[in-house]
Structure 1
Amino acid sequence: MASPSGRPWRTAALLLPLTVAGAHIGPAATWLPAVRRLLFPRLAGTGHRRHVALTFDDGPDPASTPRFLDALDELDVRATFFLLGSEVVRHPALVRELVGRGHEPAVHGWTHDRPWWPAPARDVAEVRRAVRAVHDTTGQRPVWYRPPYGILTSGRWLAARRAGLRPVLWSAWGQDWTADATPASVRARVAADLRGGGTVLLHDTDRVAAPGCWRSALAALPGIVDGCREAGLTVGPLREHGPGPLLPDGPPPAGPGS
């Protein structure tokens, strides 16, 4: 018969993995839009109330990113691109072109992996590696960090902090990564959540999404920008977005489609 004095140790041994897992994944609750908007508006990308930040994830991709750069030139809009470090070193000329056209490089991690298992040392090393790749390629030190899938684990929070990056997610997205996405669905999905001071998430590649889905985002882009401008909002990168008030002093300007 086991001694009662051993039970606390067994209980602690059983609870330890749960505690570690909870500490690791707990901050990922910020993925929920309501949590971000209410408790972490800066993480939601809240900025100047008459500005919308336009951001793209998962590039660079030589098959699709140049088309977005051309479309943004035609619209006279600059954006923030959250880049994967592994692709930056594969396509440095494209990254330099992106920056040369006035866009802002940011960090999306080294690869687009899922962070289910705690690996804080790896997270720190890979984010630093991505920062170094962007800096070495462009001469610019990135400011922003958005983790793959928008999942901010404790390890990724630590990695961003160690690398001197500011984590930012989004307040509106186009759900443009799905096989059934259309230009109309992307525009409607963005318009449903976007208000002045918001940050839009789109993707300039289908690298980790349905093949060809980037075409819907590309075709939706003019309508999204025009809708913002019709609502009296300017559109640009996060560097022009600025910090927004935690509590607005009045109703914000309406977003496109509202």
Structure 2
Amino acid sequence: MARTARDFRTRDLGTRDLRIRDLGTGDLGTRNLRTHELGTRDFRTRTALLTLGLASATAAAHAAPAVSAFGPLRNRLMPRLAGQGRPDHVALTFDDGPDHLSTPHFLRLLDDRGVRATFFLLGSMAVRSPGLAREIAAAGHEVALHGWAHRPLPLRHPRAARDDLARGRDLLADVLGEPPRLFRPPYGLMTTGTHLACRELDLVPVLWTAWGEDWRARATPRSVHDTVMGSLRGGGTVLLHDSDCTSATGSWRATLGALPRLLDTFAARGWETGPLRDHGGPSGGRQRAFYSE
């Protein structure tokens, strides 16, 4: 799952399961990160400042959280990073799997609709369900990396952040027979150090242009649909979640319930739906891979 610093309103940094001191050390199990239900508008800003402040204390070169953290600005200045592709296409992406409790439901629905998507997998989840990771790939979906542990990279030492990416990439390479090409950082927070690590590991970072706020306990199929469509334009990338491992328990059901209507709305607007590999670059081109150099 990924959230920007600006919209980092759903992480309760004071809960029992995820304290400030835990963010920079250790390998928290994703099932303990039930931290999505606190946000207020003021908390959004305070948390962004806290994240940036702690990051700058980690290391100056590592800590410049990129423009990537702020959606409107990154969409204008970094369209490729934001996930903008050809205008007749929408990239459908899911974070936080593979989850044996929920991901199979998404795979069945997508198969019934003849739609392929990009799944950003957590290494800590894939190591528990390697067969499901292979099933995602075998169904024709694109498998990408969401890191190993779901923690804000700016709060980690540059070497620890790099090792997290490498551990996840290597696990997916072992499971799938080839390494992932795309990477989405937890919360959408990139740093100078993370960009350098992506270069070293041959990973292309990509974020999103629209999301459904589907991690919330109060999310409904209608709210997810309406939130996505409130900001989505042709050529955009949609962020949803096929797991509740870092979300409110059972929140994936709202996402699943919203998906048929979302696919219908995309089609009604003349947008083809598919994975990022078919998304093209911001300048268009059906055959140009989104992540081609």
TM-score, structure 1 normalization: 0.85
Shift of 1:24: 3.3
Residue 132 of structure 2 corresponds to which residue in structure 1?
94
1:77 to 107, 115, 119: 115
Q: Relative to 1, partners in 2 of residues 1:137 and 1:118: Cα closer, same or farther, differing over 3 Å?
A: closer
Name the stretch that deviates more: 136-145 or 232-241: 136-145
How far apart are the structure 1 equivalents of 2:236 and 2:125? 28
Shift of 1:114: 2.4
Shift of 1:140: 2.7
Which stretches in structure 2 are left out of the alignment for 5+ residues? 1-54, 285-293
Partner secondary structure for residue 90 of structure 1: coil
Aligned pairs, number: 230
Q: Is the 8 A contact 1:54 1:201 kept in 2?
A: yes
Q: Is the 8 A contact 2:134 2:176 kept in 1?
A: yes
5 Å-filtered alignment, 1:155-194, equals 155-194=193-232
Q: Relative to 1, partners in 2 of residues 1:208 and 1:245: Cα closer, same or farther, differing over 3 Å?
A: same
Which stretches in structure 1 are left out of the alignment for 5+ residues? 1-16, 247-258
1:103 is aligned to 2:103: no
1:141 to 149, 155, 179: 179
Q: Relative to 1, partners in 2 of residues 1:220 and 1:158: Cα closer, same or farther, differing over 3 Å?
A: same
Matched residue type, 1:240: D
Matched residue type, 2:161: D
Q: Is the 8 A contact 1:24 1:118 kept in 2?
A: no
1:39 is aligned to 2:69: no
How far apart are the structure 2 equivalents of 1:28 and 1:139? 32
Partner secondary structure for residue 159 of structure 1: helix
Q: Is the 8 A contact 2:59 2:157 kept in 1?
A: no
Q: Relative to 1, partners in 2 of residues 1:37 and 1:89: Cα closer, same or farther, differing over 3 Å?
A: same
2:234 to 190, 196, 216: 196
Q: Relative to 1, partners in 2 of residues 1:91 and 1:22: Cα closer, same or farther, differing over 3 Å?
A: same
Shift of 1:66: 0.5
Matched residue type, 1:155: G
What is the alpha-carbon root mean square deviation over aligned residues?
1.7
Structure 1 ranges of 4+ moved more than 2 A: 17-29, 114-118
Shift of 1:190: 0.5
Which has more radius of gyration? 1
Shift of 1:245: 2.1
Name the stretch that deviates more: 119-128 or 53-62: 119-128
Residue 9 of structure 1 corresponds to which residue in structure 2?
none
